[in-house]
Each structure stands twice: as structure tokens, then as C-alpha cells.
Chains A and B, each alone.
Chain A
Amino acid sequence: MDGINALLEGFGTALTPVNLLYAFLGVLLGTAIGVLPGIGPAMTIALLLPLTFSLEPTQAFIMFAGIYYGGMYGGSTTSILLNTPGESASVITAIEGNLMAKRGRGAAALATAAIGSFVAGTIGTLGLALLAPQIVKVAVQLGSPDYFAIMMLAFIAVTTVLGSSKIRGLASLGIGLLIGTIGIDPTSGQQRLTLGIPELADGIDVVVVAVGLFAVGEALWVAAHLRRQPVEVIKVKSARMSRDDWRRSWLPWLRGTAIGFPFGAIPAGGAEIPTFLSYATEKKLARHPEDFGKGAIEGVAGPEATNNASAAGGLVPLLTLGIPTTATAAVMLGAFQGFGIQPGPRLLDQQSDLVWALIASLFIGNVILLALNLPLAGMWARLLHIPRPYLYAGILFFASIGAYAANTSTFDLWLLLVIGLLGFFMRRFGLPIVPAIIGIILGPVAEEQLRRALQISNGELSGLYDTWFSKAVYAVALVLLVAPAVIDRVRARRGEPALAHSHANQEGE
């Protein structure tokens, strides 16, 4: 039970006034950016990274954790009131949630989303606290081939499971891996892809890449599609539920948590598949299945709990193995590297104060989020009145400052613009951004493990898969590759519609 003790100590750290303030700031910011479509927690954390390098790492990560969870809460508000999902994880919520709001049950939909997120977030964080030390015990015994296998799994999962097209996912991953290799090769000391430009010898800063792809790319994309017919927002003052709503919601919350957490925890990331699964489950189990399609509360409660549980689950591989499964986790990994902290199985030993304070602040953040969202849901929706030019001017301003501050060089500003254009064209041609980000951040780490594994085996390829663990991981990866095709074929034979994959072009989370 050392996990529990460490967690209590973590609460001690997280409950100091300054850290509480950062947690509060984080969830406030997180909810705000979650409400606004197109701006996600990954972009926000990337924008804040350079500003937080002057803070204690603990404070910075407490704030990032708040943004991560807050984004999940905020996204549901937009989905329900506007039918425009703020985050890709809320796509499913929008289906029943918006129908409920249209029938005047918006308050109940918002309440079940917020309370469900709280329940799932709390159980998920508890799962993280209990699971993390156990996984670390296994993880410290893993060798380079095993790590390389897990990273391959993460790459395959992020390219094939997310988004609508595997080819586009792979292309995006390729772009990411390519950018990741720029700079001096750590093993041989040779310059790679630097084009003779001395500034590129150190590689491209993670901040510049993340901010460029997310913030500048999105800003250019929005600028190109600025005029849009305003959407109708459904007015709801606060969120509350009747006794009947509670009765219908609590089981979907728990089921959603059970579905979401494991999906987040295995490096097969993303909240889209589990939220869809939860929706399908609730539809099948509902006492009034005829309500689905007319605004069933179960269809909001389940997926909303699922996406928060998977957000909590996504922190498990990040904190125990140093492997991100979502864009936000990838940027947080970049933040660890920026603070000079080596993520991986030794993180929990070497930085145990930081990790446990982070986990404790997740519990605290959840409580603050519930308090912020139940009475103020309607107020958050007012953020949608902000004219986009003001919003994106601000984002570009912060992006430029951040990119410049990372190394105080004007070269980085040009780089930011180039990568921003790349981000724009990726959106233009429907390439998902998430695989690129994961490729950039995880690529160099994977390369290091690959070369270490090959050095140990004297260049024999069998060295990559001769442990039982790596074999098992490759088997899982194979299943991930084959299963969707098989499922679709079986469904097609039965005459059922194929699994609905949504939104190749959403910013990930």
C-alpha cells in the first residue's frame, strides 16, 4: 500500500496555496479551451511550455494536469449546447446531448456530463494511483527491445485506430518521424537533414514544432475559413438533474469508466473508440432504447464518463513508461524533457514528489471542475461569442513569443512559420496532426532504443523480438492492424454499417 501513502504525501504537496492556485488556473484555462472548438489542451500546453520553464516543474505539471482534465469537461459543454464538439472525444456526446438540449433537457445533459466526468475522473485517477507502481515494477525489468516494441505499438495504434484513413495516418507519422530525426545523431555524432544550417544541428525544439503544428496551423486554417454562418446556441443557465436522471445515469457512468480506463491505459490511445463503444453498449442495455435518437441521458452519461476515464488511463503509460498515447500526453512528455526530467520507469522513483503531487492534483482538479461546471455551464458557453480574429491573434502572439523564448533566436520564428504552413496543408489534405506530434516526440526515443537493442544483439534483427514481452506486444499490434478490417468485413456480410470512424481532421484528444 505504498501507493496510498505516497498519494497522501502528494496531497500534502498539492494542497499548498500556491499549488492550489496553479491547479485552479489550469482547470479554468482547460475548461475555457475545451469549450472553444479547434483549440485543445495539447495546443494550450504547448503554448504555455516556454512560459512555465521559469516555474517549479511540480507547479507547471499541476497546471498542465488541470488543463488536460479541464479540456474534457469543457468539450462536453460545447457538444451539448451547440452540436459542434469542442474536442474529438466529445463527438459521441454531441449525438444525444444536443438532442436533449433541443428538447429542453440541456440542464440535465450538462449535469450528467459533469457529474459523470467527475465520477469517472476520480475512479480513473484512483486506478492510475494504484496501477502505476505495479506497472513500474514490471517496467524496470524491460529491456530496449521491449520498449521499442511498445513504441511501435503506440505508433501503429495512433496511425491506424485514430482518424478515418490509415494511409493519411501513416503519412502524418512519417512527417513526424522525419522532423524528429533532424539534428545531430546521438550515437554517431553525424549531422542528419540539417541542410548545412547550423541552427538545425541541435534539432528542432519540441515547443516550436508543437506550437507550429497546432497553434499556427490551426490559426491559418481558421483564417482561411473565417466567415461562417453563426451557430445557434441553446440557452441553459446551470446544470441540474432530477432523481430519475440520477437513476438512469449512475450505471452508464460506471460502465463508461470501466470501458474508458483500460483503453486509455494501453498504448492504443485516443478516446474516440471507447466513447463509441460506450455509446453502443448503453444503447444495447438501455431500458428505453427507443429514447436513443431522441435524446437519451444514457447516451450522454456513458461516453462522457468514458472520455474522462480514458484521459486518466492515458496518464498511466506516460508516467510509468514515458510513452504518450494522445497528443496532450505527447506534449507533456516534451515538457518533461524540457525540464530535464527523464520520463520512463524510473520517473516514479526519481521524481516521486512530482508524480504524486501531479496525481493528487488530478483529484483536486476534478473537484474544482465539478464546482466550476455545475453552476456555471451556461456562462462558459458565452466564450463562444468571442470573435475568432481576436482569439487567434492572441494565440499567434503567444505562439511567436513562445517559439522565440525557447532559444531566443529569430531562426525559430521562421521555423515556426514553416511548420505552421505544414500544419495548414496537413489540415487542408486531411492528414491528422496527432500521429505527427507523437512521431516527433517519441521518434527519437524509439530510435535510441532501437539502436541500443541492435547494439546488444550485434546487429542481429532477431534481437528486436527475442523476449516474450516484445513478442506479445507485436502480437497485439498485429491484432490492431487486422481486427478493424476483419470486423468491417464481418459486419458488411451481416449487412450492418461499418464502425463509424469520425473526424480525420480534428485536433486530437
Chain B
Amino acid sequence: MPIVVGFVPTPEGHAALHRAIDEARLRGRRLVVLNASRGDALVDSRYASASDWATVQQTLADSGVEHEVSQAVEARDPADQLLRVAQQTNAELIVIGLRRRTPVGKLIMGSSAQTVLLEADCPVLAVKAAP
């Protein structure tokens, strides 16, 4: 029953990661960190670069929490990939970062957070970036 966190290299993503570490420590659970991309655009700013990813791993190592990290490029939405990992690991909790979206932006691009919130089988903790 691990805690699954969807990481993106943004302030929201870092906030989610830190909160997830706190939760994992509090509950004494394993932490699964996922960073995913559809891989269909040449550049995806939500796919962590090598240096971002090294920082994440450093943060996790420093926290002393039992953890597992994976970066995946698959033919489905990052939200679906996150839900799948949560299902496969029988997750206790999903942690995601939440950012402000304009209604139009949400209409056109959809919202990964919304997909996760509505379709997850377990509780979802949505974290905002520190102001």
C-alpha cells in the first residue's frame, strides 16, 4: 500500500513531492514517484530533465523514506499512467500538484489533475505550490 506521487518539474510538482515525503514518513509507507510523458511532442516541459530528476532522487535519498522512482514515455496520458501505477501497486494515496488553470485552457487542453481526481480508486491529495 504505497503512496504514489505524480511529479512534474514545476513549483506545484515540488510541493507535491515534499508533501508526499511528509505523508510517507507519517504513515510509514513506501513512496512511488512517477514522471510521465506521452512522448509525442519534441519537447515536453513536464518531463523532468536529467538534472531535475537527479535533484528529485537526491531529495528522496535525503529524506530517508523508502522509495521507488520511474520515468515513463508511453502512448497514454500522464494522468492515465499515474492511475495505472496507483492501481497496480494498490496505492493507499495519490499525491498530485495542482495549478491554476483558466477555464478556456482547461476546455482545450483538458486537465490531468481532474482526470486523476475523478478516476482514482483511492483518496487523492491535491497540493498547491507555496505562494
Contact = CB atoms under 8 A, between A and B. Distances in A.
Do they bind each other?
yes
Interface of A: 36-37, 82, 84, 226-233, 381, 384-389
A36 B45 CA distance: 16
6 contacts: A227-B40, A230-B39, A384-B42, A385-B43, A387-B40, A387-B41
B50 A230 contact: no
Among B40, B45, B47, B74, find the residue whose CB has the most chain A CB atoms closer than 10 A: B40
B44 interface: yes
A250 B73 CA distance: 44
Contacts of A381: 43
Given A230-B47, A232-B50, A384 B73 contact: no
Nearest to B71: A229
B121 to A, nearest CB: 27
Contacts of B43: 82, 230-233, 381, 384-385
Contacts of A36: 42
A146 B38 CA distance: 55
A226 B40 contact: yes
A365 B45 CA distance: 32
Q: Is the interface of A mostly helix, strand, loop or mixed?
A: loop
A389 B40 contact: yes
Contacts of B87: none
B55 interface: no
B37 interface: yes
Given A232-B49, A232-B50, A227 B42 contact: no
B75 interface: yes
Contacts of A231: 42-43
Nearest first, the 3 A-B pairs at minimum CB distance are A230-B44, A384-B43, A227-B39
B3 to A, nearest CB: 26
Given A229-B37, A230-B37, A230-B43, 16 more contacts: A84-B42, A226-B40, A226-B75, A227-B38, A227-B73, A227-B74, A228-B42, A229-B73, A230-B47, A232-B43, A233-B45, A384-B43, A385-B43, A385-B44, A386-B41, A387-B40
Interface of B: 37-45, 47, 49-50, 73-75
Nearest to A84: B42
A465 B121 CA distance: 81
Contacts of B73: 227-230
A226 B75 CA distance: 9
Contacts of A227: 38-40, 73-75
Nearest to B51: A232
A230 B72 CA distance: 11
A274 to B, nearest CB: 27
Nearest to B45: A385
A228 B50 contact: no
Given A230-B37, A230-B47, A232-B49, A388 B42 contact: yes
B129 to A, nearest CB: 19
Given A230-B47, A232-B49, A384 B74 contact: no
Contacts of A228: 39, 42, 73
A36 B42 CA distance: 9
Contacts of A229: 37, 39, 47, 73
A221 to B, nearest CB: 15
